[in-house]
Structure 1
Amino acid sequence: MSPADESTVLVLEVGGTHVTAAGVDIRARSLRSGLSFREAVDSNGSAEEILSALVRCADRLSGLGAGPWAVALPGPFDYERGIGRFEGVGKFDALRGVDLRAALTASLPGATALSFCNDADAFVLGEWWAGAARGHRPVAGITLGTGVGSCFLRDGRILRHGPGVPSEGWVHTLRYAGGPLEETVSRRALRRAYARATGAAPPDVREIARRARQGDPTAAEVFTVTFRALGRVLGPLLGAFEPTVLVVGGAIAGAWDLLAEPLRSGLTEADPDRNRRVVITPAHRPDEAPLLGAAYLAGVCGRPGDRTAPLGDSR
């Protein structure tokens, strides 16, 4: 990357099935045209296989030359040191104890700096900076997929504690009906609930959603029960935190037409007065938001390891 192109930050976004490499123009708050590439990654593969997929994808941006890189990926992960802490989470277990900073730095000679951030943080920041939550404060955000990711922002800060903020800002550690929240709200929980109700092998969530739209009452009820439960768990938190917007992303948010109403119902049931005023919206830039948020942390904020760092203005 030439000195004249200092507005570009290179980003890797690592998901459970894919890795995306992109160049982000932090002045335009958008991906640079033609500079977004995706590769499949097996999150249950060996460390060598996973790293090879990441490097292979990143290499597609090698023509841009030297510059800073930001990496957004799920936890548990030591974002300051760049070391995997995955264990028993069903993905990336092979990266436990692996120094990703050292491995990627060695493989990306043009990386002048390498920073890491949580993918849910990056998603919510991206939507705050350039998407559905732009201009809002405070902001709450969740991602729905393998589990429940979350991030809470107030006046441009990522919060780890405070009124209405669960410990570390992590909704997935909360409990519902005597068990972990993700035993009720997650991809596997939705599939299990449908299988139990029908006695059939569990289809994927996309198929359950399709059946609900086609009039399957069991499929529709599974979505209703699941996301009303999520609303009941989030309701007391949002009532105390008082965000002006709750932005929802992740693969399951694609079933917005099935989950929005029960989510709202659960929220207002928990705190009718305050939660009725919260704007509940799907992400406006669901695929780009994690890339934009990671680039913002690295290129604008410049303190990606500090989840409480001031983050500027989203206007």
Structure 2
Amino acid sequence: MSRSIEQIPVLEIGGTHVTAALIAIGQKAPFVVEQYRSQLNAHAPATELVTVLAATAAKLKVTASLPWGVAVPGPFNYERGIGRFENVGKFDGLNGFDLGSALSESILPRPLSVRFLNDADAFGMGECAAGAGRGHERALCLTLGTGVGSAFIDHGVPVNEGPEVPPHGSAHLITWRGRPLEETVSRRAIRGRYRQLTGKALDVHEIAQLARLGEAEATSVIDASMLALGDAVAPWAVSFKASVVVVGGSISGSWDILERPFRAGLIGACPELSQMALRLAELPEDAPLIGAAASAMPVGQ
């Protein structure tokens, strides 16, 4: 396979890691050709972070100037490539820092362009291009972990503004019963509620295992959280006219006990969603990489 514009290099920046990958597009479905992962210290200064990012990027077999896609969590000015990480507990060194220029100067061969996008949007784009959302024109993609990430994807493109989506297309900005949704649906919320009931400090996957075994407290906590999630996002799934909801993120590893209460919450809030597809993410690791590549493609390609 020739290394042309049809192979796009990308970076996916997380709180503890960075992944560099080369993505083949222009096929029936995009796929990862090669990828490398490095540890990342989210509390390091900008110069150290850029050094790690560039070193990881250098592991890819890229021999020409190509457009690069970079998936990164917010808060971030994606248009200008500048971090806005003020008092968020990670990437303080990138607050106000021009990461776009830094990567353009440190990656070799020099990128043709560097385009940033939100990591949740990248996940949604990737799942719609090659995973559980493939074949659907409009999809609501959720990531469940430390918080609730979301992407509203219309024909492969994220929708972040307008009356049919929540503010900035972000589910974490939804309020449920007068409180931020993440106070009920998140790793912290689930662990906290279970500890209140039992006095035990367990992680979500441990609570999920106890629910599988029939423990009432664990089942109650999991069911309440997923019912709330379904109730909160259902109106947005309707207004966006999504034909599928795709669920990923670390908590989705317990999908076997999450699906039933989540579906019940969706249908209980909006009965018209009873025929909507509800699917577990198929590409939890690769989707953000594929989405970043799709975003980096020049218009018209």
State the TM-score, normalizing by the size of structure 1.
0.88
Distance apart, 1:63 and its partner CA: 5.0
Aligned to 2:131: 131
- Residue 56 (structure 1) shift: 2.5
What letter corresponds to residue 241 of structure 2 in structure 1? Answer: E
The answer to whether structure 1 residue 89 and structure 2 residue 55 are counterparts is: no
Q: SS where residue 222 of structure 1 aligns?
A: helix
RMSD of equivalent CA atoms: 2.1
Give the Cα separation in 2 of the matches to 1:52 and 1:198.
46
CA deviation after TM superposition for structure 1 residue 65, in Å: 4.3
Residues 172-202 of structure 1 show CA distances to partners (whole Å, capped at 9, x for unaligned) of 11112322111111121122112212113x3
Tell me, yes or no, if structure 1 residue 221 matches structure 2 residue 232. no
Letter matched to residue 177 of structure 2? A
Determine helix, strand or coil for the equivalent of 2:59: helix
| Cα distance, 1:5–1:32 mapped onto 2, change above 3 Å | farther
Deviations 1:96-155 (A, max 9, x none): 111111221221031221111111111111111111111112211111112111111234
Which secondary structure state, in structure 1, belongs to the residue aligned with residue 67 of structure 2?
Answer: strand
49-58 or 176-185, which moves further after superposition?
A: 49-58
Q: Confirm or deny: 8 A CA contact 1:125 1:289 kept in the other structure.
A: yes
| Partner residue in 2 for 1:298 | 296
Q: Is the 8 A contact 1:22 1:31 kept in 2?
A: no
Give the Cα–Cα distance (whole angstroms) in 1 for the partners of residues 49 and 232 of structure 2: 35
User: Deviation of residue 31 (structure 1)?
Assistant: 3.5
Structure 1 residue aligned with 2:167:
167
Amino acid corresponding to residue 297 of structure 1 in structure 2: S
Instruction: Say if 2:10 and 2:293, in contact at 8 Å, map to a contact too.
Output: yes
Residue equivalent to 1:12: 11
The amino acid across from 2:281 in the alignment is A
**Aligned partner of 2:286: which letter?**
E
1:208-251 Cα offsets, whole Å, 9 max, x none, are 22333344332222211111101110112222222110111111
Aligned to 2:37: 38
C-alpha distance in 2 between matches for 1:212 and 1:40: 33
* Aligned residue in 1 for 2:120: 120
Measured in 1, the distance between the counterparts of 2:164 and 2:5 equals 38
Any conservation in 2 of the 1:66–1:112 contact (CA below 8 Å)?
Answer: yes
Cα distance in structure 1, aligned partners of 2:284 and 2:188: 21
Corresponding position of 1:286: 284
Task: Look up the match of 1:57.
Answer: 56
Question: Structure 2: which 5+ residue stretches go unaligned?
Answer: none
SS of the residue aligned with 1:276? Answer: helix
**Matched-pair contact (CA < 8 Å) for 2:71–2:289:** yes
Residue 142 of structure 1 pairs with residue 142 of structure 2: yes
Give the letter for the 2:123 counterpart.
F
Q: Structure 1 residue 62: deviation in Å?
A: 5.1
Distance 1:190 1:27, change over 3 A: same
Letter in 2 for 1:37: Y
- Do the aligned partners of 1:164 and 1:236 also contact (CA within 8 Å) in 2? no
Between 1:216-225 and 1:43-52, the stretch displaced more is 43-52
TM-score (norm 2): 0.92
The equivalent of 1:268 in structure 2 is: 267
In structure 1, give the amino acid aligned to 2:158. I
3-state SS, counterpart of residue 228 of structure 2: helix
* Paired AA for residue 185 in structure 1: V
Classify the secondary structure of the residue corresponding to 1:89: coil
Q: Which runs of 5+ in 1 are unaligned?
A: 304-310
Identity value in percent: 45
The answer to which of 255-264 and 206-215 deviates more is 206-215
SS of 1:88 mapped into structure 2: coil
What is the SS of the residue equivalent to 1:10? strand
Deviations 1:36-75 (A, max 9, x none): 1111222233334433332222121155443221100111
CA distance in 1, matches of 2:214, 2:64: 53
- Structure 1: distance between partners of 2:278 and 2:252: 12
Aligned to 2:152: 152
Asked if the contact 1:7–1:25 (Cα under 8 Å) also holds between the matched residues in 2, the reply is yes
